[in-house]
């Protein structure tokens, strides 16, 4: 098997396997950069390398780590915390927080890997590929680049203000050591770049793929999320149309019982649009994310009283919230991924980036925000709640105003999608300020909607510009 190594900002990135028959699993030890892409086979190897970065695999132990996606957003929203003592981020103070630099390094490793692939594949002639595979490979890479840039914009940029100069640091070229200087882009330009990549993915990505690889449906779902953050009146009909296309035309269907996704089916569930598959024998490694939920290892991440209260009269509370954590008062074991008293498995190490449930909830939110039928939004909300085993719909039935319906949609988003990929935080920040203050009083300033750019970036990239307002460089 041919093995080639490249270095990204001093970090060795592992890219993919050399055999197409092995593309059903994450790469293990072949290493590739854009200069080694010479044909379709090596393009597929490099693409697997980009997915390797998407799964955030630790090359030292060959274990996926979706912690950044599952835990910190739930901490910011007030539903989860650090089980061995309170972290500053639990009160939306990020400067000295353990969670303050999440996404920055991993997102740019993903973006850079995607850029290396895009550069290499773009230089090849179309005849080097069978059928439409060249366009598909490029589309999958652009989807992953859009995903990375959207993370950066969402957590380090003023995504809520289209006039703001504090957008993402957009990278559209492969970066090598000593060639890192670049200024961040405006929020408006950041959205333009992200949406351009997603439109390409919608047009050219495969319609069918394994659940841990991107499809045009995944690109549509991610575009819905981006447009909801973009938040302009013209966005909402597009969101609704994208949702309808996914619901009516894609192979995905809602899981009859939400619990089965996490405890029985994992990525085989027909609801999962895009997920993270654990590495081979990953469950045997001690310092796993699911073991940090139960019983705790070097770290412990727990449900806080706010999540227990949210689920108090909900059937999900019985299986998602465990016994009290003895190390920090007011916290409980978080059991969405692993049952109390059990041991890690490949299923407990599976993660979820996009589920059909989110598509439905985003559609309902778009309907409400566009001045559409509250009854239509309510029907969607009750349908989703029913798939989670809920039978008491009184709160949804009593939501007769726009703000109250937005609140109920948010609460279901938190109940359903907490600890997956940040929906419980970003959807909270889209609410009217009065509701944000009601639900999360410590998020009392837009400075607290985003985090400071890590100090090391200013050392490595003096051209980036100013630190986010409210923070010191």
Position 17 confidence tier, pLDDT thresholds 50, 70, 90? very low
pLDDT, tens only, 307-328: 999 999 999 999 999 999 999 9
- State yes or no: pLDDT of 29 exceeds 50: no
Report the pLDDT value the prediction gives residue 206, as an integer from 0 to 100.
98
213 pLDDT band, cuts 50/70/90, is very high
**Both structure tokens of 213:** 């690889």
SS3 at position 321: strand
Three-state DSSP at 304 gives: strand
Is a pLDDT exceeding 60 seen at residue 9? no
Please tell me which residue, 139 or 103, carries the higher pLDDT value. 139
Query: Where does the pLDDT of residue 20 fall: very low under 50, low under 70, confident under 90, or very high at 90 and above?
Result: very low
Computed from CA positions of residues 378, 380, 384, 390, in that sequence, does the dihedral angle turn out positive or negative?
positive
More confident residue, 168 or 6: 168
| Average pLDDT of the residues in 224-230 | 98
Which residue, chain included where needed, has tokens 């498995």? Answer: 345
Query: pLDDT grade, residue 100 (50/70/90)?
Result: confident
Confidence of residue 10 (pLDDT cuts 50, 70, 90): very low
Measured between alpha carbons, how far is residue 222 from residues 70, 144, 169, 200, 284 in Å? 17, 10, 19, 13, 33
- Per residue in 381-427, pLDDT (tens digit) is 999 999 999 999 999 999 999 999 999 999 999 999 999 999 999 99
Residue with tokens 């999320």: 225
For the chain, the straight-line distance linking the first and the last C-alpha, in angstroms and rounded, comes to 46
For residue 279, give the H/E element and its range.
none
| Token output for 126 | 């179309």
Question: Coil, helix or strand for 234?
Answer: coil
At 341 the pLDDT is 97
pLDDT of residue 321: 98
Phi and psi angles of residue 443, each rounded to the nearest 5 degrees, phi first: -90, 60
Determine how many CB atoms are found less than 10 A away from the CB of residue 210: 15
pLDDT band with cut points at 50, 70 and 90 for residue 340:
very high
Is residue 84 scored above 60 in pLDDT?
yes
**Residue 177: its pLDDT value, please?**
66
Q: Dihedral of the CA atoms 436, 442, 446, 452 (nearest 10)?
A: -140
Answer whether 157's CB lies under 8 Å from 449's CB: no
Token pair recorded at residue 363: 């559609």
- Reduce the DSSP state of residue 25 to 3 states and report it: coil
CA–CA dist 191, 195 (Å, integer): 6
Average pLDDT estimate for 47-65: 94
- Widest CA span in the chain: 63
Q: Where are the alpha helices (DSSP H) in 347-454?
A: 356-369, 374-387, 394-397, 402-417, 423-429, 433-439
- Give the pair of three-digit tokens for residue 453: 């750019």
Locate tokens 């969405």: which residue?
336
Question: Which structure tokens are listed for 308?
Answer: 């227990």
pLDDT, mean of residues 332-351: 98
Distance CA 260, CA 273 (A): 16
């Amino acid at each position: 098997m041919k093995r080639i190594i490249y270095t990204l900002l001093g970090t060795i990135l592992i890219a993919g396997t050399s055999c197409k028959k092995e593309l059903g699993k994450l790469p293990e030890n072949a290493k590739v950069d854009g200069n080694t892409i010479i044909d379709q086979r090596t393009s597929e190897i490099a693409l697997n390398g980009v997915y390797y970065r998407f799964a955030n695999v630790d090359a030292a132990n060959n274990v996926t780590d979706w912690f950044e996606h599952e835990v910190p957003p739930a901490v910011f929203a007030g539903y989860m915390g650090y089980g061995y003592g309170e972290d500053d981020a639990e009160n939306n103070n990020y400067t000295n927080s353990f969670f303050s630099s999440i996404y920055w390094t991993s997102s740019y490793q993903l973006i850079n890997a995607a850029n290396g692939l895009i550069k290499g594949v773009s230089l090849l002639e179309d005849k080097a590929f069978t059928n439409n595979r060249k366009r598909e490979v490029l589309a999958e890479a652009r989807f992953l680049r859009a995903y990375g840039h959207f993370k950066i914009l969402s957590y380090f940029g003023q995504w809520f203000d289209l006039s703001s100069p504090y957008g993402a640091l957009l990278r559209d070229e492969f970066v090598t050591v000593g060639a890192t200087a670049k200024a961040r882009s405006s929020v408006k330009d950041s959205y333009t770049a992200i949406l351009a990549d997603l439109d390409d993915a919608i047009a050219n990505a495969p319609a069918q793929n394994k659940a841990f690889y991107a499809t045009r449906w995944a690109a549509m779902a991610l575009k819905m999320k981006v447009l909801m953050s973009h938040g302009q009146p013209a966005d909402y009909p597009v969101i609704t149309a994208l949702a309808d296309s996914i619901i009516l035309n894609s192979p995905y269907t809602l899981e009859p019982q939400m619990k089965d996704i996490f405890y029985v089916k994992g990525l085989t569930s027909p609801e999962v649009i895009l997920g993270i598959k654990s590495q081979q024998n990953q469950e045997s490694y001690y310092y796993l994310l699911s073991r940090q939920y139960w019983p705790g290892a070097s770290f412990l991440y727990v449900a806080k009283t706010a999540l227990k209260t949210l689920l108090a009269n909900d059937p999900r509370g019985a299986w998602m919230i465990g016994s009290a954590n003895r190390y920090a008062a007011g916290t409980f074991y978080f059991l969405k991924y692993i049952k109390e008293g059990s041991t890690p498995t490949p299923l407990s190490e599976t993660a979820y980036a996009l589920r059909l449930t989110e598509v439905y909830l985003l559609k309902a939110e778009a309907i409400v925000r566009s001045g559409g039928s509250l009854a239509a939004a309510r029907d969607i909300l009750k349908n989703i709640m029913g798939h989670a085993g809920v039978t008491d719909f009184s709160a949804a039935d009593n939501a007769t105003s726009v703000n109250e319906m937005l609140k109920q949609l948010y609460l279901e988003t938190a109940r359903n999608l907490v600890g997956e990929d940040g929906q419980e935080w970003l959807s909270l920040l889209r609410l009217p300020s009065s509701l944000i203050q009601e639900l999360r009083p410590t998020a009392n300033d837009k400075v607290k909607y985003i985090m400071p750019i890590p100090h090391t970036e200013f050392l490595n990239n003096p051209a980036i510009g100013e630190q986010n307002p409210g923070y010191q460089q």
